Structure 1
Amino acid sequence: MPISFNLTNINQESGNSIHIFSGKPGTKPIYTDQATLSEKYRRGVKLLRIMLAVLALTAIVSLILSYISRNYLSSSVAANIPIAIAAVSAVLLVPVLMTYAAFYIKSKRIK
């Protein structure tokens, strides 16, 4: 049985064409001048710094809790939960760190 799609109602608000920028004639698009482009990267660096701090703190606290639970709890399941949380935090930490570094370098070059 072949699958068919009805594409007649897609994107009717913009006249079935690609909508990229809408503004008064002569309006300059955002992120085309130095000031707004620099602001874009500064905001990105700030957000990524917060994400980096939260993930790093989560990984560190989870490792500390893992150490405490291994020494003071008899249940191996309870001892493995903080390790799993630390592993997930560490896996997420790497791409966030790489993105943060790229945004930071780009923001310094734009200034």
Structure 2
Amino acid sequence: MIWKDKRFIIGRGLAFSETKEMQHLSKLAEEGWFLESPAFCGFGYKLCRGEKQELQYCIDYQKLTKEESIDYFDMFAAAGWNHVMTVGNVIHYFTAAPGTKPIYSDQTTLLEKYKQGKVNLGFTSIIFVFLTILMNLMGRLVEIEKVQQIFQGLFHIFLVVTIPVLMTYSAFLLKLWRLRQSNYHY
């Protein structure tokens, strides 16, 4: 969707193609479109038009308190990375000039990044699976037809969200496994 100075795009799925996603955002910056905020419930991006420039994008997965976030963002700023936005207080987007040292430059820190993401997604997955099962059970156990329909509707909504969450969690597990098996080929 495009307006004169705003544009909305659907994400490709960070767990599946994080590098390609960041390269795509960098290419858009070269065309004058810059990441502004999350869109589509975190599954996409709102972009704004600006002066064309070369940028590299990177993300990090950290759940932070307000107190922790100050030091965290200061540390990235000192390394040349500018905070752009945060999604769900867990996924943090940064930009830097080309040639800036990557946030994760060795296998150990890259493993830590994905371990943190796995923990956050694991917790989210458990909650959504539980709620999906609960809505299905409630829809079957309740005898009042209208209430039963509400629970079945909620079951379908949760199911639609739970499947991508589980797929994303599986992709994180696969990424961690591959990193552990490789000698940092990413």
Provide the TM-score with structure 1 as the length reference. Answer: 0.71
- Cα RMSD for the two superposed structures: 2.7
Higher relative contact order (CA 8 A, sep 6+): 1
Unaligned regions of 5+ residues in structure 2, if any? 6-31, 33-48, 58-78, 81-98, 181-186
Which structure carries more helix by proportion?
1
Aligned residues: 97
2:117 aligned to which of 36, 41, 44: 44
Matches within 5 A, 1:83-94: 83-94=152-163
Unaligned regions of 5+ residues in structure 1, if any? none
Secondary structure class of the residue paired with 1:39: helix
C-alpha distance in 2 between matches for 1:77 and 1:34: 54
Percent of aligned pairs with the same residue?
A: 30
Letter in 1 for 2:179: I
* CA deviation map 1:38-76 (0-9, x unaligned): 11111111111111111111111112211222x2x2xx2
C-alpha distance in 1 between matches for 2:104 and 2:146: 50
Which structure carries more strand by proportion?
2
Is it true that 1:110 corresponds to 2:110 in the alignment? Answer: no
* TM-fit CA distance, 1:84: 0.9
C-alpha distance in 1 between matches for 2:153 and 2:132: 10
Q: Which has the larger radius of gyration?
A: 1
* TM-fit CA distance, 1:99: 1.4
